[in-house]
Amino acid sequence: MTVPSDLARRRLTIRRIVAVAGALALVAAVLLAGGLLYLWPLFIFPLLLGAVFFFELGSLLVAGALGGFFVAYFSLRQPVDPATTRQAIVGLAAFGLAGLVLGRVQRRQRRLHDLLAASTLTDRLTGLYNYGTFVDYLHNEVTKAERYGGELTLIMFDLDHFKRFNDRHGHEAGNELLRQVGGTLQAIVREADMAARYGGEEFALLISGDAADGLELGERVRRAIEATALDLRGGGVACVTASAGVATYALGSHDETLLIEQADGALYESKRAGRNRVTVHPDSELPRHLAATLSA
């Protein structure tokens, strides 16, 4: 799976505008060239495109374009009389009403489709991508890295003593904490990277960059989670920390499973060393000054 960027969305919008304008121009050219006014129902096609692509606004814009076309058509082809004017007004009103209905129906269908798509791609509790989406995305990114090169780093996070937190404050407080952590990850991670709930209280970040980038982001997220304060219903505030492991993908290994295992191994090394820290897997190279800092 790839995450659509703003540029991709803008390009799609431009293509849709061109498609609607092209359909309008083509149908208008057919009518003007043939002089066959009974072919005016052909305008239903650009009207449909406008409704499908831009909902009610698209329908109204197409209806307005039709109004301008018919005014010009009648002015050039025959003298304008009251009967012809009434017919044009009724026709345009019917087009506009039909377009509004089509646009509203399409908007509702699109919203339902987006909700269904989101429910299959994301975790309902945290709003992050779910495990299945993460696995698919990781496979695609590994494939791209093998084909085109580039650096890929995985950061695995696990909330420290989360079971103890649930036992002490209740599962609803635990769920609220997971929601806050999800919001923290969404706020910190770049749009080009991916944040997912890997399972339970474990999270995964897949980024474009090397081990140093992973360490820097991991520390930022760790500090942000440490600073998260959850207001409890009975009063008071609860906090939590997180441990993380960082691993970079080795080109030529063709194995995303190894990347997950290395990041997970580094994560459990953080747990073993006392929790609330970020550990880089030994096979992931760090710049000398960072490696010296970690070993000190």
Q: Catalytic one among 56, 201, 202, 285?
A: 201
Residues facing residue 242 across a β-bridge: 159
Least confident of 66-75, 215-224, 277-286: 66-75
Assess contact for 125 and 178: CB atoms under 8 A.
yes
Instruction: Look at residue 126 and tell me if it is in a domain.
Output: no
Assess whether 103 and 186 both reside in one domain.
Answer: no
pLDDT in tens, 44-84: 778 778 877 887 778 778 877 777 777 677 666 666 667 66
127: left (phi over 0), alpha (psi -120 to 50) or beta: left
pTM reported for the whole predicted model: 0.63
Assess whether 163 and 90 both reside in one domain.
Answer: no
Q: How many domains does the chain have?
A: 2
Q: Residue 67's domain spans which residues?
A: 6-121
Domain boundary among the residues 60, 88, 121 is at 121
Assess whether 233 and 213 both reside in one domain.
Answer: yes
pLDDT in tens, 177-217: 999 999 999 999 888 899 999 999 999 999 999 999 999 99
Q: What is the CATH number of the domain that holds 173?
A: 3.30.70.270
* Whole-Å CA distances, 111 to 2, 120, 174: 20, 14, 30
- Other CB atoms within 10 A of residue 266 CB: 27
Query: To the nearest whole percent, how much of the chain has pLDDT over 70?
Result: 81
Task: Look up 201 and say whether it is catalytic.
Answer: yes
Domain boundary among the residues 102, 121, 140 is at 121
Which residues neighbour 194 within 8 Å (Cβ) at sequence distance 6 or greater? 3, 129, 134, 137, 204, 205, 206, 207
Assess whether 25 and 166 both reside in one domain.
Answer: no
Which residues neighbour 283 within 8 Å (Cβ) at sequence distance 6 or greater? 247, 250, 262
